[in-house]
Amino acid sequence: AQTVTQSQPEMSVQEAETVTLSCTYDTSESNYYLFWYKQPPSRQMILVIRQEAYKQQNATENRFSVNFQKAAKSFSLKISDSQLGDTAMYFCASLSGNTGKLIFGQGTTLQVKP
Amino acid sequence: GAGVSQSPSNKVTEKGKDVELRCDPISGHTALYWYRQSLGQGLEFLIYFQGNSAPDKSGLPSDRFSAERTGGSVSTLTIQRTQQEDSAVYLCASSSGLAVPYNEQFFGPGTRLTVL
């Protein structure tokens, strides 16, 4: 079975600084996808970034980038130039099999302080 | 609207009552997912629909939980004889279900269920 683990329940960062959220996963599948989702207080889950396991290059989306270490089964999210609007809960997730269901980590609550 | 919608936004019920939660996916999306977000269990998968059939219902926690989808569109999650541990946010997501490497799931705003 796939598992996803986020070991940081809460984090905080000063506005304009950089923060890294950690995630580890376990899967027996040879090809898989990993995601970071953002959930602000509105509860709306928003896809932040995705990584295909077969791609060695780390994904980047504007201020968001990942550090994908396949051998270590690690998938961390780096947020550069943090903004107040980044305050939210962040979930790491993996895509399971051919049904497409997502397996989520426990989440990390990030607070960006002015 | 163009997004996934869910109703009601909030639901308070008494222990033992039945509740129905509704999800309207994005038009044309064939795949639909239900997830539950609770304090003790995090965010967990409940059931997956492809069209009107549910090939994966492995996440339903008990036989008090059931779901159906009609016309390949709207889905209803029903919880019978609600218990306090059913209190959670129930999220619905849909995707295009096309044969591509992966299909992005678009989430609704969720229904917060409180069982007194």
pLDDT tens for chain A, 114 residues: list them: 789 999 999 999 999 999 999 999 998 887 889 999 999 988 889 999 999 888 888 999 999 999 999 999 999 999 999 999 999 999 999 987 677 889 999 999 999 999
Burial of B39 (0-12, 13-18, 19+ CB in 10 A): exposed
Q: Do B33 and A42 touch (CB under 8 A)?
A: no
Measured at the alpha carbon of residue A67, what is the angle toward residues A64 and A68, in degrees to the nearest 5? 125
Average model confidence (pLDDT) across chain B: 92
Chain A residues with beta carbon closer than 8 angstroms to that of B99? none
Question: Is the pLDDT score of B105 beyond 60?
Answer: yes
Rg of chain B on CA atoms, in Å: 14
Chain B residues with beta carbon closer than 8 angstroms to that of A106? 42
In our burial notation (b when 16+ CB lie closer than 10 A, e otherwise), range A64-85 reads bbbbbeeeebebbbbbeebeee
Distance from the B51 Cα atom to the nearest Cα atom in chain A, whole angstroms = 12
Which of B31, B59, B108 is nearest residue A100 as measured by Cβ atoms?
Answer: B31
Q: Do B48 and A100 touch (CB under 8 A)?
A: yes
CB-based contact B79:B18 (threshold 8 Å): yes
Q: Do A104 and B42 touch (CB under 8 A)?
A: yes
Got the DSSP string for A100-114?
Answer: TEEEE---EEEEEE-
Chain A residues with beta carbon closer than 8 angstroms to that of B104? 47, 50
User: Which residues of B make CB contacts under 8 Å with A?
Assistant: 31, 33, 35, 42-45, 48, 55-56, 59, 89, 91, 93, 95, 97, 101-105, 107-110, 112
Q: Return the SS3 of B85.
A: helix
Closest alpha carbon to B28 in B82, B98, B76: B98
Which of B56, B104, B110 is nearest residue A101 as measured by Cβ atoms?
Answer: B56
Q: What is the pLDDT of residues B1-55, one digit of tens each?
A: 589 999 999 999 999 999 999 999 999 999 999 999 998 677 899 999 999 999 8
The pLDDT, as a whole number, for residue A83 is 97
Half-sphere exposure of A77 (CA within 13 A, CB side): 30
